Amino acid sequence: MPPAPRYTQEPWRETFSEIIDVRSPSEFAEDHVPGAINLPVLNDEERAEVGTVYKQVSPFCARKIGAALVAKNISQHLRGHFATKGKDYSPLVYCWRGGQRSASMATVLSQIGWRITLLEGGYKTYRTYVRQQLAILPTQFTYKVLSGLTGSGKTYILQKMRQHGVQILDLEDIAKHRGSLLGQQWKGKPTPQPSQKFFESLLIEKLLTLDPREDVWIESESNKIGKIYLPPSLWGEMKKASCVEIQLPIKARVQFLLQEYPHFMDRPDLLKVKLEKLKNRHGWEKISQWYQMIDSGEWEKFVEDILFCHYDSTYKKSMQNKFSRVDKVLSMSDLSDSSIENLLDYLVPKYASMT
């Protein structure tokens, strides 16, 4: 006799062949268990259709229509995704509340003979877990903040630190944004940011991999990265942390930024649109000057001027208000590998000596 589906409220304590989210694509896009795949038993249009019939006709008619659609979609998944799964396949399945959608998928899969686990309470159980972890987990670490003016290579240095075995928390990578007006990530095209909820899911996933016994290096950020807000628990710990400030010559900062933001030179029209948002702060005369530099291809002059007029003053004010505990100020001539190696030897010698 095929095994009946089992239930769990703590799937993060177990290992599964796969985690299957059977909600609609839009629900999945807003947030999901990291690593889950989306095999909807009702897509967005079908879910809306069933909901309309439920309200305007009757629950009975809605259930009939829904059952037919669910059967059709599960059949497609069986012929596609599940076709190559072996006998030892044992996935976790969940929907919004752990109701009919996940139960329908689990019933069919268990009848085949696979051992299926259902998340009791569905996504809502998972989301409750994330909220609980957001309040507690960030406070369990000791953070060290890497600060410095725009173009000082803070994220780049953090990535080098990670290569040396240092624990880092790269919030900009999780948020898919560099935190400033021009900070949208770009990989051939604009990289969309995750939703607030999915950012929080990814943050918890990352924090769970870190060792509370070791320092966690983090970049000086605002409490808002693009459209994403940091959880108050993490933000509070960051403001209490000791800081190491990186100082880099202006020319080196300009060259680094030109390397990091080539898409603006390829699409100056997009750059101008973003700069227009600074008109209330700097006035049209300054915006027009920047436009002229862009049009004439004076990129080094433009970057140096916007750093001097906008970014540096903004950053210094932010640091005074949020990260005033600067324990060390370290000067670098450039961001070459040798300069960063020397920096790491000073900051984290026990890790740097391992390379």
CA distances from 230 to 148, 164, 192 (A): 20, 27, 17
Helix or strand run (H / E) with residue 143: strand 143-148
Q: Which two tokens stand for residue 285?
A: 């005369």
**In terms of Cα–Cα distance, which of 294, 242, 302 is closest to 268?**
294
**In terms of Cα–Cα distance, which of 354, 347, 351 is closest to 145?**
347
**What is the tally of helices (H) and strands (E) in the chain?**
17, 12
Rounded to the nearest angstrom, the gap between the alpha carbon of residue 130 and the centroid of all alpha carbons in its chain is 14
Are 333 and 253 in contact by the 8 Å Cβ rule? The answer is: no
What is d(CA 121, CA 94) in angstroms, rounded to the nearest whole number? 8
Q: Which two tokens stand for residue 119?
A: 């998340």
Q: Is the dihedral of CA 315, 318, 322, 325 positive or negative?
A: positive
Are 126 and 229 in contact by the 8 Å Cβ rule? The answer is: no
Phi and psi torsions of 116, nearest 5°: -110, 135
What is d(CA 229, CA 207) in angstroms, rounded to the nearest whole number? 17
Say how many CA atoms lie within 13 Å of 316 toward its Cβ: 8
User: Which position among 61, 95, 243, 309 bears the catalytic label?
Assistant: 95
> SS3 of 186, please?
strand
309 catalytically annotated: no
**In terms of Cα–Cα distance, which of 44, 95, 96, 41 is closest to 69?**
41
Q: Which residue numbers are catalytic?
A: 95
